[in-house]
Chain A
Amino acid sequence: RKEVEQDPGPFNVPEGATVAFNCTYSNSASQSFFWYRQDCRKEPKLLMSVYSSGNEDGRFTAQLNRASQYISLLIRDSKLSDSATYLCVVNLGTGGFKTIFGAGTRLFVKA
């Protein structure tokens, strides 16, 4: 089992749709969680940190379920400019520190 697994994608959605990305992680000692966005041939950019209480930033909502070891990202009212690869990132934290990226889920938003 991979340490961080994401929906394989790609997702093809029309403008205005709501799209949900899912991510599971295998190590219960994981300490911090993030969603990054990566455009083609560009560097990953931080989209959101993910907290147990959930957090929202405009059209984007992230949730963390530690019991199920599951992270989600919801994009509402998707725009053409949301087309990118979305990467789930997990940090194992102190001690045996490790940053693990999921393979990413590609999103295409079409007009």
Chain B
Amino acid sequence: DAMVIQNPRYQVTQFGKPVTLSCSQTLNHNVMYWYQQKSSQAPKLLFHYYDKDFNNEADTPDNFQSRRPNTSFCFLDIRSPGLGDAAMYLCATSRDKTYEQYFGPGTRLTVT
């Protein structure tokens, strides 16, 4: 049974058109993360929530925002996607900050 679910699996958006990616978890984990991964590169942490506490990485562009309305769901909003934002977006969860992370299958974003 899927424990970290991401929707949609594939998303095509136009340059500058806002897009929202979603993540849900059945693990009841405290921490949820969003990563960006481009081809042949390691995942890059964008931000994470520890419960309702939002933590942004210093180099995450302002174009990326996140919401966590409850324990189970977390959203990634890209306000004005550029061609450089085309990537795989991975959601992960962990019980606490130093624990192992469990990843969803990712959403592959294409920007046209």
Contact = CB atoms under 8 A, between A and B. Distances in A.
B81 to A, nearest CB: 20
Nearest to B108: A41
Nearest to B44: A101
Interface residues of B, number: 22
B15 to A, nearest CB: 24
Interface residues of A, number: 23
Interface in A1-60: 31-32, 34, 41-46, 49
B45 A103 contact: no
Among B33, B43, B102, B105: residue with most chain A CB under 10 A? B43
Contact of A46 (B97, B100, B104, B105): B100
A93 B97 contact: yes
A9 to B, nearest CB: 11
A63 B44 CA distance: 25
Nearest to B104: A43
A97 B41 CA distance: 22
Interface of A: 31-32, 34, 41-46, 49, 87, 89, 91, 93-94, 97-104
Given A34-B101, A100-B45, 10 more contacts: A32-B98, A41-B108, A43-B103, A43-B106, A45-B103, A87-B43, A91-B98, A93-B98, A94-B98, A99-B101
Interface of B: 33, 41-45, 48, 50, 55, 88, 90, 97-106, 108
